[in-house]
Chains A and B, each alone.
Chain A
Amino acid sequence: MTVAEIHRLLRERLGTIVSDELKPGDWPVCEVRGQSIAEVCAILRDEPGIAFDCLSNLTAVDRKAADTIEVYYHLFSYAHGHRLVLRASTPRPDPILPTVTHLWPIADWLEREAFDLLGVRFTGHPDLRRILMPEDWVGHPLRKDFVEPDEYHGISTRRESLLKL
């Protein structure tokens, strides 16, 4: 099954949840309504002809101008060798998406990372807590409006610019 066929099948099954535009490329990108992402992923993983058995990557991008956060799901199939990228948007002030941990166990850590660095909250995630940053860190550093705090536990994060020295 080609990616175009997969896309058509998704459109037939799910209607407007999946956008009708498929951005071509090495990794074709397809827009999906955020709240239905788990549903779409379940079909993509379990449908025999599609069988995306591997979540190659999961990452979030802060689109400040559009006031959304986009989460990218890079799916890959070892069985068939085809690839697809799902892009799910969620409102920036309150980014919430359903989890896909139950489909691919690796999503556990990848979602934790997206939560830690961009603040996307994945509902249904078994253990959503910070993974890279310290637990008591305030804010999500990869957000475009993140401002580094002046100090952390009494350690100053400010230092003279090296160019001035």
Chain B
Amino acid sequence: MSTHAIDVDVLRETGQGIATEEMTLNMGPQHPSTHGVLRFVVKADGEVMRRAIPDIGYLHRSIEKIAEKVGYHGFMPYTDRVDYVSAMQCNQGWAMACEALAGIKVPRRGEYCRVIASEFGRLASHLLSVGATGMDIGAVTPFTHAIREREYINDILEELCGARLTFNYMRIGGCAWDLPPGFVGRATKFLDRFEPLIDEYNELISFNKIYVERLANVAVIPREMAIAYNLVGPNLRGSGVKYDVRKDAPYSVYPEFEFDVPVGTGERGTLGDSYDRYMVRMREMKESCKILRQALAGIPEGPVVAKVPRTFRPPVGEAYVRVEASRGDMGWFVVSDGTAFPYRVHIRTGSFAAMAIIEELSKGLMIADLVAVIATLDIVAPEVDR
């Protein structure tokens, strides 16, 4: 968050005898389309950007430092705040990192509960993302329709753990609570309603001519660039890399489920453009529904949490686990020194990389495109800063 280092250089060019000045625009930290508090210093020539320099740190809550002070169990509620749009997967990441340190095995029912919770979290997050993309492009209607369904998902998750945004549902060794009575029926009922709605969203907005024009061929990220910048999740798959941690480095009980990994195809423009990233999210929602149906149908009996001592002292060592969060491959790095407090925690998030790529990506785009790029990269500010 260094504001002064970005020098205000005024460029004067005399192309065809007309002198133009580069304009420095300050976009954010308070701006309607920067989801959360992001800041861009935009160097623009009229409507065309020369560069958009991301400036982060406005939401830095020192979560990694907090981890060193509160102990392993106590850190769980804080993980919700790492990415509050899909907090379930952050819960899962932390729990899995601790389990990897101590070699704890989660009961199968616990794993199923985790999968159900985090796939609902993914649906909620993707709904918000695609809705907000529409909103940023100027179509207001899809947002409210997406949010309407997201509210029902929040109801479902509220039944599960009593919270609607920051869940604190998972524990080291499993989940805090078992599914409430009748949960499976209600969740299936919701899926029956929701699955056809995805097609309706597509009809409503995805194939709209203006919408496609605004997203297709905008901010193309080629495959190599996506990998070099360590883009993850839907952003990476939008560039045509078929990689999903759930599939290619499986964790939890994901290998037991059948689902596809949608990748960008460049159907309306170039491979890796904003439209591909958007469509990957649309299709992933369908896959999540598939996983949810299988998980709800096949949930085994048994305990949901393993026996874990109240003061959790993992052996000396380090663990790096990756979970497929809504914004992709989220890396949790934990170093233990054998005490009840983590020695060091580092969280490598999807939005961090997505934010880092913007400076390179924004060259030559228009200001209106920057908004579309932020939206389709699905940048969530707390995840960038932690």
Which residues of A are interface residues toward B (Cβ below 8 A)? 26-27, 29, 53-57, 59, 61-62, 72, 74, 78, 81, 85, 104-106, 108-110, 117, 129-135, 141-142
Contact = CB atoms under 8 A, between A and B. Distances in A.
Interface stretch (B11-19, B158-166, B290-298, B343-351): B343-351
Contacts of A142: 64-65, 68, 344
21 contacts: A26-B100, A26-B320, A26-B321, A54-B227, A54-B228, A57-B331, A62-B344, A72-B333, A74-B320, A74-B331, A78-B243, A81-B249, A104-B228, A109-B353, A130-B2, A133-B60, A134-B1, A135-B1, A135-B2, A141-B62, A142-B65
A134 B5 CA distance: 11
Contact of B333 (A55, A74, A81, A131): A74
Nearest to B332: A57
B241 interface: yes
Contacts of B321: 26
B228 A106 contact: yes
Given A105-B229, A106-B230, A131 B346 contact: no
B385 A132 contact: yes
Interface size class of B (residues with CB under 8 A): 35 or more
A56 B230 contact: yes
Contacts of A131: 1-2, 56-57
B195 interface: no
Contacts of B357: 105
B348 A56 contact: yes
B212 interface: no
A20 B342 CA distance: 28
Contact of B320 (A27, A110, A129, A141): A27
Given A106-B228, A132-B60, 11 more contacts: A26-B320, A29-B318, A56-B322, A56-B331, A56-B348, A57-B346, A59-B344, A61-B335, A106-B353, A109-B352, A117-B64
Contacts of A109: 352-353, 355-356
Interface in B284-340: 318, 320-322, 329, 331, 333, 335
A85 B320 contact: yes
Contact of B56 (A105, A132, A135): A132
A55 B227 CA distance: 9
Contacts of A130: 1-2, 57
Contact of B360 (A59, A72, A78, A105): A105
